Structure 1
C-alpha cells in the first residue's frame, strides 16, 4: 500500500492545526483520533471520493466534530461571505449523510441527541439568512425525527419491546416474527442455569455486563447481601455441549451474543465450578425421522434464504468494521453480526446432525441428495451464506467418512456436489467463489466470514498510523469493501414462496434448528452407522 498521508490534511480548506478540535487535543496518541478511531477520518477528508467516505467514528465523537466545524464557520468570515455559505452547505450535507447512514446507532451514543439539537438550532438560525439552506434544513428535521432524537426538551424515549434471542430463549411466536436489529440497550429474556440444571429467567439489556447479569440472578434467587462478600459469591460460567467451561469476568459485556450454539450460562459458586456439566438435552440424542424428511428442498432453501436475508439486513455496515478494528472494545456494536456468524455455524451443524441421526442407509442417501438440492437452490437464490453452510455441513469429517452412504448417491448428484466443493475451495484466495459472486447482481447474501477475512487482512496487513501519518490507501480499501456490503443489499429480496399448508411449520423449523455442535458426539454417531468406513 502507498505511504500514509501527512497529518496536515484538513477539512474544507482548513489545516489540522487551525481546526478547533486540533487545539483541544483531539489528535495524537490517547486522543479520540487515536489508532482505534482513525478509520473514520477517511470519511471526513474532501480529498477522498464521496463514495469512499463511510464514517467509522463513534457517532457522538463525530457529531462533536460537526459542531466544532460549525462554530469555526461562524467565526471565519462574515455571514454574507459566499465561501462561508459553501462551507455551511458542505457541513450540512455531511451531517445529513451521517444521520441517514447511522440512524439506529445514534440512540446508543450518550450525548448524541444533545449535540444534534445544538447543531440543529444553529442551522435553523442560519436558514433565515441563507435561503439556499432551507431544503437541506427540512431534510435534517425529518431525519432527526426518524432517528427518534426529538428536538423538544420534554420528549419521551420510545418504549422498548423485550426481544427473545432466537437460540437461547426459544418461543414459537417470536421465531415467526420478522427479525429486527438488536441494539445494546435492547432488553432480552435469557435463562441462567444453576448447577442442578434448574434455571431462572432474567430480563436484561443485551449489552449488560456479567456483574449486572449476576445481580439480576441474585435478585431472582433472593440471595441475602448481608454477609460480607455475598455479592461475590456467585460467578457466571459459559458451559458448552462438549463440557468446556469458560469463566466470565465481571467486567465482560454482551455475553449473550458471544455464546456458542449450544452453550448456556450457569451461575454458581466457585466451589461448584468443577461440577458443572452440560444440559442433558445437549448430550443425549434420539435417532429417528425428523422434520427434514417431511419437507420439500425448495421450501427449506427458500425459508433459509428469507431468514438469512432478514439477519443480514439487520447487520449494520459499521459492525463489520468494529468487528475487525475495535475487537474487544466494541462488542456491543457487533451483536447482529455475531448472531449471523453463529447462524452460519448452526446451519453447518444442522446438516451434519440430520444426516448422522438417520439410521437407515437408504434414507440417509436420500437425505444427502436432498441437502445437495437445497444447496443448489440456495445458490440459485444468490444466498451464498446458506450455500456455503450446507456444503460445509456435508463436508464435515463425520459425514464425509460415510463411504457406503455416499456410494448410494446417484452419479449426477456426486458430480454436482463435486462442483460445489470446487466453488467453496479456499485455494488461490477463494478464486472460484469470487468469480461467481462478481457476476451476480443484488440482492444477494455473501459468505460473510470471507468479508471479515478480507477486512482483517486489510487491517493487519498495514498500519493505520505510521509516525503520526495516516495510511489513506488502507482506509480507501476498507471503504471499498464496505461499499460492496451496501451493494449486496441495495435491492429488496423477492422470493416466489407459495403458501403451502405447512408453511408456518416449515418456517418455525428452519428458524430454530436443534443441532449437535459437539464434534466428538458427531463422530460417535458416525462410527455407529459405519464402523469400518474410511
Structure 2
C-alpha cells in the first residue's frame, strides 16, 4: 500500500489560485492530506463564498475529500491560510485503493469539519454547532501494549492450561479455537494476587475486547462472565502458530507486569462497558460503580448525592472516534447534556466561527437541565439572602417511597435555625419513622451544638395566645424531637450541665402547658420517664467517676463487664523523658496536649518549651499539636508518650519495653480450646464495640478538637484489630520449634473459622491479615508441613454462610477470658521480619 501511494500521489503546488483548494458545491475529484501549513474550512448557507463563515482550521495530519467516491458536492470550501504542502490522490487511484483495502480506509472518508445541516434563520441563535475534535485514526488497530498483553495471556494459557483454547460445539455449530468467558475469569484470578473480584477480572478482559485483541464469536461488545465463546486475535487465522519454548519463557516473565497493567486500566474499560448498556439493563452493582465514578467528575461536583444517584441510572456512553462528527446543530432543540471524558470539541456559531474549544472534564448543553433543577428548587430568603434551600423530589422517582403520591423535599442548605424549623414543621406525629428528623438529631452537633439547640427549642414552649390547633401540633413536634435527642445523647447529656438544666426546664414548661392544652398530657409520661432514666443512670455505680490505668482498665476490669470511658473519667498515665525515666500524671481523659504538658511540667518542676511526642516501637515520632485532645487512646499497640524540649526531638529513642515480649505464650495458649478462645474474643470485642457511642464516629470524622470531645472508646476498638493481627505474627515468630509453629498455624486458622461462625468479622479479618503478614507467609517450611485440609479452611471461611454455636464454658473459662484481654505483642514489623528470617533463612 505504501509503495502504491508513493507512485500515485503528487504534491500540490504551494501557490494556488486565490488559495482555494475547492469550493462548496464542487464535485469531488481528489482526496487530500495536509503535510505542512494549515487551511480554513468555510461554510455558507447560500453557497456564496462572500458570506461564508470559517468553522474550523485543518492542521498537519488531517485529511479531507469525503465526496470522492460518490461524486457528491463538497460540503464546505477549503482555503489555505499559509503556504501549505498537501498530498493529493486522484479519484481513479483512490477508488483502486478503496476496492483493495476497503476495511482499512473507512476512516479516511469522514470529513474532519463535520457535515452541517442547514436550519431556519429564526432558530440559529439558540444553539451553537458542537463538533468532536479528536485525532483521526486511519486504521482501527489495537495499541502496541494491548496487543502485547493479548499475546502474553494467550501464550500463558497455552502453556499452563492449553485445554482452555479449543474447538467447541454449540447448537450443532463448531466454533474454532475458543475460550469460555467464565473459564477466562477463573484463570486470570488464579494467576495474580492483584485480582480479587470477578468484576475486576471482567474489566481486564474487557480491555482486550475493546481493542479487538479478544473477540466474541458473534461480535458482541461486552465481555461477560458467562458460558460465552471468545477468541484471541491470533486464533482468527486457521494457521495460528503455537508459541515456542523461548516465547513461553518470555511471556512467563512478563505475565505479572501485564496483569498489573490490565488491573490498572480494567476499571475504566468496565465503566465504559456498563455505560454502553441500556439504562434498563443496569444492575444495582452497575449503578453503584457509575455513582462512584461520578464523584470524581469536575462537572458534577456541585450536584447533590441524590442527583448523582439519579444520573447514574440515565447516563450513557457515547464515543466518536472520527474527527468532525457533529453532535448537534445550531437551532436544534437541546435534548441531552454532555460531559467530556476524553478528547475535545469545538463550539461553532454561525457568523462567528469557532468561538471556543472544550476539553476533558468540561460539560455543555446543561441549560435545559439547569432550568429543570431550578424549577424543583424552593428558596426561602430573608434580607435578600438564602436561609433555606430545598430540592423537590417528584413522586414516583427512585429516591421517593413507592406508592407515595406526595412529593418530598431534601434540605440542600440553610441556617441551623431554619433547618430546625423546617424539620419541626414537616415532622409527622402519626409515624415513628422520621428519617430526616433522626438525621438532624444525629448530625446537629456538627452545625448546631447543644448550646444553640436548647435555646432554639424553648420559645416553642411558651404560653402565647396562638391558635390552639397550631400550638398543639407545634409543641407535640418539639416534644417528639426532644425525646429523640435525649434517647440518642442519654449518657453524654449527663456530662453537659447546660443540657441537663434545659431538660429540667423543658419538663417544667411542658407540665405547665398541659394545664392549658390538655392534649399534651399523653406525652408527659413519656417525657417524665426519659428524665427519670437519665437521672437514675447518672447515679448508677458503673456511671460514677472512674480512674483508669494506663492500659485503660479499672482494677476490677477482668471480672466485670467493660464500661464506656467517659469524658469525666481520669487516667493514671506514664509520660517518659529523654533519658527513659518517667513521671506519672493523673488527668482527665479529655485533656488537651497543652494540659498534659502543663501537668508534666508541674511534676518535673520545670517545663519551659516542652513538647509532647507519640513514639512507636519502630522509632516513628509524631509531634502532637497543643489543641489535640484525648491523645492517650490514639497510641499504637506498644506506643508511648514522651515529653522533651523541642531541640531534643531528634534524639528521642524507643523504650526497651516497647520491643514487646521475648518469649511466646505457646505453653499456655496450646492448652486452650480454639472455640473458647474465639468465643471469649467475641465477647470482649462486643463489649468494646458496645462502648462506642454513635457520635464518636462523627467526632472522629470531623476532628475531635473541633468538638472538644473524646473518641476513646472508638480508638480502643480500632486498636484491638492491630493487637490481634500482631498477636498472630508475634506468637509464630517467637516459636523456634518447627512442629510447634505448624500447630500454632493450625490453631490460628481454627480460631479464625470459629470467629466467623460467631459473626466476629473484626477478629476474623485481623487473624487472616496476621497469617498473611510477610513475616508469616514467607515461612515456607512451616506452611509445607500443613495438611491441605487445614489450609483450605481459610477458603472455607470465605465461602460458607454463618452458623454460630454458643461456646460451652469449660473449666479454664476464666483463664481464657483473662488471656484474650491482656495480649502481649510485638508491633514492630521490622523486628518481626528479622525474627522470621532467623527462623527460616532465605533459600539460596
Counterpart Cα distance in 2 of 1:352 and 1:255? 27
Counterpart Cα distance in 1 of 2:600 and 2:615? 17
What do the CA deviations read for 1:77-134 (whole angstroms, capped 9, x no partner)?
53x6123212211211111121112101223446212222332221111122233323
Find 2:829's aligned residue among 519, 523, 531: 519
Partner of 1:220: 603
What do the CA deviations read for 1:352-386 (whole angstroms, capped 9, x no partner)?
11111111111101111101110111111111111
Partner of 2:491: 104
Does 1:184 find its partner at 2:567?
yes
Counterpart Cα distance in 1 of 2:767 and 2:477? 48
Counterpart secondary structure, 2:584:
strand
* 1:370–1:257 distance in 2 versus 1, CA, 3 Å: same
| Displacement of 1:531 | 1.0
Counterpart secondary structure, 2:426:
coil
| Displacement of 1:334 | 2.3
Counterpart Cα distance in 1 of 2:421 and 2:742? 55
Partner of 1:197: 580
Does 1:71 find its partner at 2:452?
no
What do the CA deviations read for 1:284-341 (whole angstroms, capped 9, x no partner)?
6424553322321112111100000001111112222332244652473422111111
Contact 1:185 1:206 in 2 (8 A): yes
Contact 2:660 2:824 in 1 (8 A): no
Does 1:46 find its partner at 2:426?
yes
Counterpart Cα distance in 1 of 2:808 and 2:380? 53
Counterpart Cα distance in 2 of 1:246 and 1:399? 29
* 1:440–1:365 distance in 2 versus 1, CA, 3 Å: closer
Find 1:163's aligned residue among 548, 572, 577: 548
Partner of 1:305: 682
What do the CA deviations read for 1:138-179 (whole angstroms, capped 9, x no partner)?
22223223323999xxxxxx85121235x3x67774344321
What's the TM-score once normalised by structure 2's chain length? 0.47
Partner of 1:400: 777
Does 1:120 find its partner at 2:507?
yes
Contact 1:288 1:359 in 2 (8 A): no
**What 5-or-longer segments of structure 1 have no aligned partner?**
18-26, 152-157, 224-229, 424-431, 445-493
What do the CA deviations read for 1:224-262 (whole angstroms, capped 9, x no partner)?
xxxxxx543432211110011122222221101111111
Partner of 2:530: 143
Contact 1:402 1:533 in 2 (8 A): no
Counterpart Cα distance in 2 of 1:388 and 1:331? 32
Find 1:329's aligned residue among 691, 700, 706: 706
Counterpart secondary structure, 2:826:
coil
Alignment coverage as a number of residue pairs: 434
Contact 1:32 1:61 in 2 (8 A): no
Contact 2:688 2:713 in 1 (8 A): yes
* Structure-to-structure mapping, 1:471-486, within 5 angstroms: none
Counterpart secondary structure, 1:517:
coil
Q: Which has the higher contact order (CA 8 A, sep 6+)?
A: 1
Does 1:206 find its partner at 2:589?
yes
Q: Please tell me the root mean square deviation across aligned C-alpha atoms, in Å.
A: 3.6
Does 1:248 find its partner at 2:552?
no
Contact 2:677 2:751 in 1 (8 A): yes
Counterpart Cα distance in 2 of 1:77 and 1:284? 72
Contact 1:164 1:174 in 2 (8 A): no
**What 5-or-longer segments of structure 2 have no aligned partner?**
1-304, 308-372, 389-411
What do the CA deviations read for 1:446-504 (whole angstroms, capped 9, x no partner)?
xxxxxxxxxxxxxxxxxxxxxxxxxxxxxxxxxxxxxxxxxxxxxxxx95441x34332
Contact 2:424 2:474 in 1 (8 A): no
Contact 1:183 1:332 in 2 (8 A): no
Contact 1:200 1:220 in 2 (8 A): yes
Indicate the structure with greater strand content.
Answer: 2
Counterpart Cα distance in 2 of 1:533 and 1:125? 84
* 1:121–1:288 distance in 2 versus 1, CA, 3 Å: closer
Indicate the structure with greater helix content.
Answer: 1
Counterpart secondary structure, 1:148:
helix
* 1:330–1:72 distance in 2 versus 1, CA, 3 Å: closer
Counterpart Cα distance in 1 of 2:616 and 2:828? 8
Contact 1:301 1:377 in 2 (8 A): yes
Counterpart Cα distance in 2 of 1:330 and 1:524? 43
What do the CA deviations read for 1:178-197 (whole angstroms, capped 9, x no partner)?
21112222212211122232
| Displacement of 1:206 | 0.9
* 1:45–1:200 distance in 2 versus 1, CA, 3 Å: farther
* 1:47–1:148 distance in 2 versus 1, CA, 3 Å: closer
Partner of 2:691: 314
Find 1:93's aligned residue among 466, 475, 480: 480
Find 1:266's aligned residue among 639, 642, 652: 642
Contact 2:758 2:802 in 1 (8 A): no
Partner of 1:236: 612
Counterpart secondary structure, 1:286:
coil
